[in-house]
Structure 1
Amino acid sequence: MIPLTTIKAANATLSTRLPSPVCVFLGGTTGIGFYTLKQLVASTVSPKVYYIGRTPSNAEIVQKKLEEINPKGTYIFVQCDMVLIKNVDKACEEILQKEKEINLLWLSAGLLRSGVPDTTEGLNFMAAISYFAHIKFIINLLPLLKASASNNHFSRVIRVLAGGLEKELDPNDLDMRKASFIKNRQYHTTSTTVAFDYLAKENPEISFVHTFPGFVKTEGQTFPGVVSLLIRTLMWIGGRWLLVPEEESGERNLFYATSGIYPPSKGAKEVERLFGGDAKGEGEDVALGLDGVEGSGCYTLHWDGSAKSGNKVLLGYRETGFRETFWEHTLAVYKGIEEKYQKDAGEA
């Protein structure tokens, strides 16, 4: 575990290390994303944040709170119902028109639902929310992340889901339609890390972090059904021992989003030299990537910051080329959606 004191000390340096970051927060209006966003705004000098959500009324609350915490920042709400890829494209286009680079793309939006019909674009609802929408945000905003890196500025993508808990995918169900509710969540987790592993290979100047946040009480845990009831019961019974406090969650996730110990693979050796020295404590040295190599660019983190590596499934996907096959399938899904819209427009 990385001590909270170490994390707070590192976050306190953001005012000089990353004083005016340009950030995009998908999932910054509630829950873990909001907790982290508040810490980011409090720790930097003049941040510029695009925070993306569905509900303008929530955005008004967020806007007021952020301005209270740091009136020197710039906070821009972008409305987007991410269940549809076309909405994701529209939201990203708004940002692409306004910015030349971004430093941080934060991805934590999500819902827990079962038995929901497919989206109008033909995707499994939960797969659309948990995987396809998030990856499309990355693809669309990659030019701005790469521009930041090319200027030797900070550049990172972080996804909050269940990093380190990856299991084998069903090669006959890459759209993630057939599995049970629980297994579907495992598929979304593994799919995310496989995609991050591919993206880190193709974009070595950007670091990709997939974290498991632990148990944190959020609004998204309240929804109809047995699963929600079980989650809330577990939180009520074991909350004192299981729950990560709101403030600690924000501090920890801000560290994972901004710390230099999770560098991109390009330039990692230089970072290692900067972090060199004896008697380093945990959280003060370059982390192991998912392949067990220090600073390899793609990281899966437990809630306490410990890096998980050596997953046989993920390493096997590298060796067999399934990582590339899966990525090609993801792109084919987006292409199919685009072609459908083009066809519909032609018939109109």
Structure 2
Amino acid sequence: MIPLQTIKDANSTLSTRLPSPVCVFVGGTTGIGSYTLKRLAASTVSPKVYYIGRTPGNAAALQKELEEINPKGTYVFLLCDVLSIKGVDECCRKINEREAEINILWLSAGALRSGMPDTKEGLNWMAAISYYGQVKFITNLLPLLKRAAANGHFTRVIRILAGGLEKPLDPHDLDMRKGSLIRGRQMHTTITTVAFDHLAHENPEISFVHAFAGFVKTEGQKFPGLMSLAIRSVMWIAGSWLLIPEEESGERNLFYATSEIYPPATVGAEMAKADKGSEEAKGEGEEVAVGLDGVKGSGCYTLHWDGTAKSGNKVLLEYRESGFREKVWEHTLAVYKNIEKQYEKENTA
């Protein structure tokens, strides 16, 4: 476990290490995203943040808080429903028109629902919001991330879901339509890490982090049905000994989004060598983290809520060796292509 004080100390250096980052926060208006965004505003000098959500009322309240925390920052709300690939494309078009590069792409939008109808674009509802919509932001904004890296600037993609808890995928159900709500969540987790592993391999100048935030009280836990009732009951019963406080969640997740111990592969190997050759004793949270392949600084990281990097998952390593990782990515791109064709048909009809 990385001590909270170590994390706070690292975050306190952002005013000099990353004073004016350009960030995109998908799912930043409430919950873990908003907790982290507020800590980012407090820890940097003049951040520029595009924060994306579906509820203008939540955004207005957050905007006021951010401006009070750090009036030197620029905070731009973009209305977007992550369930819609077309909506994601339009949102990203606006960002691409306004920015030359971005440093941090934060992805935490999500919800737990069962029995929802497919989206208008034909996607499973939960898969759309947990995976396809999130990854579309990456593919659309990748040029801005790569440009930042080419200019020698910090770059990271971070997804908050359940990194480190991956289970085998069903190769005959990559659309993620079968199984229970919990099984679906496991599939969303695994396919995200597999996609991140592919992206880190193809873009070694960018680091990719898939983190589990632990148990944090959020608005997303309020929805109809027994599952919501069960989650809220556990939260209420467990109370202080299970729940991670909002401020701690914000500090920890800001660290995962900005810490240099999760470097891209292009610099990770050299950083790991420097760590090994250093005579200075270092504690947890100060050494270069181990990637999901068990190699320090390899560019793709799965993190437990306490910052512990998970590695050596046999399923993920097998997907690498067998080429299934690339098949998953081909499937993802094919889904986007099919949706694009749908809209082309509608426009020519």
TM-score range, shorter chain: over 0.9
Q: 1:281 aligns with which of 283, 295, 309?
A: 283
| In structure 2, C-alpha distance between the alignment counterparts of 1:150 and 1:45, rounded to whole Å | 23
Aligned to 1:34: 34
User: What is the aligned residue count?
Assistant: 347
| In structure 1, C-alpha distance between the alignment counterparts of 2:69 and 2:272, rounded to whole Å | 34
Aligned to 1:91: 91
Offset at 1:55?
1.2
8 Å Cα contact 1:25-1:106 kept in structure 2: yes
Aligned to 2:20: 20
Check 1:274–1:45 CA distance in 2 against 1; reply closer, same or farther (3 A cut).
farther
Aligned to 2:138: 138
| In structure 1, C-alpha distance between the alignment counterparts of 2:267 and 2:178, rounded to whole Å | 42
TM-score w.r.t. structure 1 length? 0.99
| In structure 2, C-alpha distance between the alignment counterparts of 1:309 and 1:154, rounded to whole Å | 24
Question: What's the CA shift string for 1:158-183, capped at 9, x where partnerless?
Answer: 00000000000000000000121110
**SS where residue 112 of structure 2 aligns?**
coil
8 Å Cα contact 1:80-1:88 kept in structure 2: yes
Does residue 290 (structure 1) correspond to residue 265 (structure 2)? The answer is: no
- Matched letter for residue 311 of structure 2: S
Aligned to 1:329: 331
| In structure 2, C-alpha distance between the alignment counterparts of 1:9 and 1:274, rounded to whole Å | 21
Q: Which runs of 5+ in 1 are unaligned?
A: none
After TM superposition, list the pairs within 5 Å mapping 1:14-93 onto structure 2: 14-93=14-93
| In structure 2, C-alpha distance between the alignment counterparts of 1:306 and 1:154, rounded to whole Å | 22
Q: Which runs of 5+ in 2 are unaligned?
A: none
| In structure 2, C-alpha distance between the alignment counterparts of 1:323 and 1:130, rounded to whole Å | 18
| In structure 2, C-alpha distance between the alignment counterparts of 1:306 and 1:278, rounded to whole Å | 21
TM-score w.r.t. structure 2 length? 0.98
- Matched letter for residue 299 of structure 1: Y
CA RMSD of superposed structures (Å): 0.8
| In structure 2, C-alpha distance between the alignment counterparts of 1:241 and 1:284, rounded to whole Å | 26
Identity rate, percent: 73
Does residue 206 (structure 1) correspond to residue 206 (structure 2)? The answer is: yes
Offset at 1:274?
5.6
- Matched letter for residue 319 of structure 1: E
| In structure 2, C-alpha distance between the alignment counterparts of 1:274 and 1:54, rounded to whole Å | 44
Does residue 221 (structure 1) correspond to residue 221 (structure 2)? The answer is: yes
| In structure 2, C-alpha distance between the alignment counterparts of 1:58 and 1:274, rounded to whole Å | 45
| In structure 2, C-alpha distance between the alignment counterparts of 1:307 and 1:52, rounded to whole Å | 28
Offset at 1:56?
1.2
Offset at 1:35?
0.3
Does residue 181 (structure 1) correspond to residue 204 (structure 2)? The answer is: no
Runs (4+) of structure 1 exceeding 4 A deviation are none
| In structure 2, C-alpha distance between the alignment counterparts of 1:269 and 1:180, rounded to whole Å | 41
| In structure 1, C-alpha distance between the alignment counterparts of 2:321 and 2:189, rounded to whole Å | 20
After TM superposition, list the pairs within 5 Å mapping 1:158-173 onto structure 2: 158-173=158-173
Aligned to 2:192: 192
| In structure 1, C-alpha distance between the alignment counterparts of 2:156 and 2:178, rounded to whole Å | 33
**SS where residue 76 of structure 2 aligns?**
strand
Aligned to 1:125: 125
Aligned to 2:11: 11
8 Å Cα contact 2:269-2:298 kept in structure 1: no
Offset at 1:272?
3.1
| In structure 2, C-alpha distance between the alignment counterparts of 1:13 and 1:278, rounded to whole Å | 20
**SS where residue 266 of structure 1 aligns?**
helix
Of 49-58 and 272-281, the range deviating more from structure 2: 272-281
| In structure 2, C-alpha distance between the alignment counterparts of 1:176 and 1:153, rounded to whole Å | 36
| In structure 2, C-alpha distance between the alignment counterparts of 1:257 and 1:289, rounded to whole Å | 15
8 Å Cα contact 1:260-1:271 kept in structure 2: no
After TM superposition, list the pairs within 5 Å mapping 1:296-311 onto structure 2: 296-311=298-313
